[in-house]
Structure 1
Amino acid sequence: MSQEIVEVKEIGSGGVWVEGIQKSACGSCNARKGCGHASLAELGRPMRLWISTSERLDAGQHVVLDLPDGALAASATTLYGLPLVALIIGAISGQNLGGDTAALVLGGGGLVAGFLLARHLASRNRERWQPRIVSVCERPGF
């Protein structure tokens, strides 16, 4: 698991909005050109996340988040890849069974089925993929 220091931006019912740019891995690996984290860090665009917590925090505080290994890749593959694969399988099956109209219908059906399955898998894995607050930093600037 990787840990990142982020700033609490807003307090909400049942959690907080945090914002930060992941920097921990950006200077330490060789995949900088193909890495989304390095690209975001170069752009200087902050990542904003909703974190469920019962801990009492204030806007402006810094906290340490624990990000589960592989959670981003697993969730992105599930939410984007699964519907796309289901669309392609449905379209190919439809083309083989009955031509363009069947490909359109089965492709659309596959896309909808893929989104429903992705939604089910995402809700089932929500706890495993969710970042958690590990600790509150004593002072900003650490």
Structure 2
Amino acid sequence: MILETGRIAAIETEGLWVETIRKSACGSCKAEKGCGQSLMNKWDGHSAYIWVLLEGRDPASYQLGDEIRIGIPEEVIAKGALLVYMVPLLTLVIATALAHHQFAQEGITTLSGFAGLLLGGLIVRWHSWRTRLDSNLQPVLVDDSAPLHFYPSAEQH
């Protein structure tokens, strides 16, 4: 589980909007001074807003500006990265290969590759929209009142 600290930016009945500054990876490796990500974070300092489900918790117990911890399972990040990077790449390669095999002209092959890349991006966008409310893919609120259980306990077997 990747943990991040943020401040509550908005409170709704179903969840919280949490403002985080993208800095969790910075400072943890030796390439900090030469890292482009570190430089961009220092330069723009933009915050990211993340939707976190309350999962039955009372929204009245939270206040704007409260600092909370959220967690995102590594599996969600790994699968998401695989989807975001591999689907457009695969559609680009498949469209390029099909166009090259069918037409054998450089211009058509290049345009087909761009069309495949666009198609892959649209597939990722569609999948993202379709799974936007899936609670298994949402960040979770990490607090002491509702401890997280990642593995079944011995009593559940």
TM-score range, shorter chain: 0.5 to 0.7
Specify the alignment match of 2:87 in structure 1. Answer: 82
* 1:94–1:105 contact (8 Å) kept in structure 2: yes
Change in 2 beyond 3 A, CA 1:120/1:21: closer
Change in 2 beyond 3 A, CA 1:47/1:118: closer
Equivalent of 2:73 in 64, 68, 72: 68
Higher mean alpha-carbon deviation, 53-62 vs 97-106, is at 97-106
Specify the alignment match of 2:141 in structure 1. Answer: 133
1:48 pairs with 2:49 = yes
Specify the alignment match of 2:98 in structure 1. Answer: 93
User: Which structure has the greater CA radius of gyration?
Assistant: 2
SS in 1 for 2:96: helix
Tell me how far 1:110 sits from its aligned partner. 7.2
Unaligned stretches of 5+ in structure 1? 137-142
Tell me how far 1:25 sits from its aligned partner. 3.9
Change in 2 beyond 3 A, CA 1:111/1:39: same
Q: Distance in 1 between matches of 2:6 and 2:69?
A: 6
Deviations 1:96-137 (A, max 9, x none): 12234864468636753674367448739x54543211128x
Change in 2 beyond 3 A, CA 1:40/1:134: farther
Specify the alignment match of 2:21 in structure 1. Answer: 21
Higher mean alpha-carbon deviation, 14-23 vs 95-104, is at 95-104
Q: Distance in 2 between matches of 1:25 and 1:106?
A: 34
Number of aligned positions between the proteins: 134
TM-score of the pair, normalised by structure 1: 0.67
Higher mean alpha-carbon deviation, 87-96 vs 112-121, is at 112-121
**How much identity, in percent, do the aligned residues show?**
27
* 1:17–1:48 contact (8 Å) kept in structure 2: yes
Deviations 1:68-94 (A, max 9, x none): 226445424412441232123212221
* 2:7–2:68 contact (8 Å) kept in structure 1: yes
Specify the alignment match of 1:140 in structure 2. Answer: none
